[in-house]
Each structure stands twice: as C-alpha cells, then as structure tokens.
Structure 1
C-alpha cells in the first residue's frame, strides 16, 4: 500500500505547476502563481503563459489542490542521453517525452507517447523530468 500523498498548503505568490486533465493535454504542466487559497480549500491561480479567451490578460482559474504541484527542481543540463525522460516546453506548457536522438550539438529529438510525435527542440527548451510522489521530487529514469 502506498503512503498517502503529502498535502502542501500553498501560499499567495507561490510558483506552482498545474496539471492539465483536458483531452489532448493530459500529462502537460503549466506554470502559474497562487493568487489565493480560498476558504473552501480550493486555490485560485494565475497562469504565466496561458491567456484569457480575449487574450487581454493571463488566465486565472480556481483549482483543486490535487491539480497543483510545486515547481520541480531545475537541473541545468544541455546534454541529454538517449531515451532519457525529459519535459519539453511547447504550446505554453511542459510535456513529458523521451530523447530519441540529437539533430545537432544543441537540438534534441523528443518522442511523445501521448501523441505519437517526435519533435526537435533546442536544449534550452528541455528539462530533466521529475515526478512529484508522496510530497517529494523523484528523478525520473
């Protein structure tokens, strides 16, 4: 039996990532800032890259705590290994994939199982993947 997920009480201005549960976006994470912790236990967040429908300002949403996680530790790397699990920044969010090759000294091919796509990214748009498990960041294999 797995231990229960450790609960984090985020505070105003905390940087977080929001897990998307929308079809076509499952497994992607979007950077946001906590605006407030509501009396009903929900959080209001303001996204860093997502905009309101009229594109006039950053999107603000009210979310359940289970949809939030702290920002993962940044492991600075410009060299990735074949089949290494990484996150690639695309379409305003971070997407989980695996390194499948290198097209030149600074561009890597990343394969996304969820969409069966392979896309080249500059190393600056790739980060080492971590999993948030039981209140701790675990380096993914």
Structure 2
C-alpha cells in the first residue's frame, strides 16, 4: 500500500515522505520502505518501523487551475518530502515564495513542486 509517512528525525520533522507499507510490525506499527530516502551507505531505500498514527494514505490530487494566492496553505516538495508552508509571495513564471513558519525560512518553488495542503482527519481528506 502506498502511503505518506511523518518522521520525527532531526532535520526532517514535519515533512511527509512517500513510502510503501511492507508488513505489520507489532501493535499499531508497520514496517515501511521509503520511496526517496536511502540508507546511510546509499545502497537501498531506507526501511523502518513507524507507528500507525504517523502514516496516512497519499492525498488525492487537486488540480490547481489559477495558481496560488498569498496566504494559501501548500505542501512544497523539498528535500525528498512534502513540507507544509504558506504562500508568502507570488512571483513571475509560475514561481512562488513559500514560508515555512515552523522553521522561519522562505524558499522559492515552481508551481510543479507545490500542491494544496490537505489534512487527514477522521479518515477523510480536508482542505483547511
């Protein structure tokens, strides 16, 4: 099953990473394999046991027709994962400055690397 996994590892906190559930691993835990994160010697994709509360289905695709506006909540694809931010500035050529409030950082992204932010609440996807 294809999912996204929230990690609490230093430098990656708050980001969701694409993964595959390999098998159950105890009560409310699963062995997963990341689709983008690699092990320390870069020989294979990283596997680890994750609590079920840090696993969610992949969000449905939402087509963005007219781009984003300032203050829109987005997920930005950065460092192999999806990070929650807000549009701080609309730039030219479908580029946006995204503010990551938790990290007090701003970075520029192209529309292709952004998606509307969605929350997985009570078994349903919700757009805040």
TM-score, scaled relative to structure 1: 0.84
Residues 85 and 99 in structure 2, CA contact (< 8 A), matched pair in contact too? yes
Q: Deviations over 1:42-84 (max 9, x none)?
A: 2111101000100001101111111101111111216011100
Residues 69 and 90 in structure 2, CA contact (< 8 A), matched pair in contact too? no
TM-score, scaled relative to structure 2: 0.93
Q: 1:105 aligns with which of 87, 93, 97?
A: 93
Note the aligned Cα RMSD (angstroms): 1.3
Number of aligned residues? 127
Moved over 4 A (4+): none
Indicate whether 1:26 and 2:10 are aligned.
no
1:1-141 alignment to 2 at 5 Å?
14-77=1-64, 79-140=67-128
Q: Which runs of 5+ in 2 are unaligned?
A: none
Q: Which runs of 5+ in 1 are unaligned?
A: 1-13
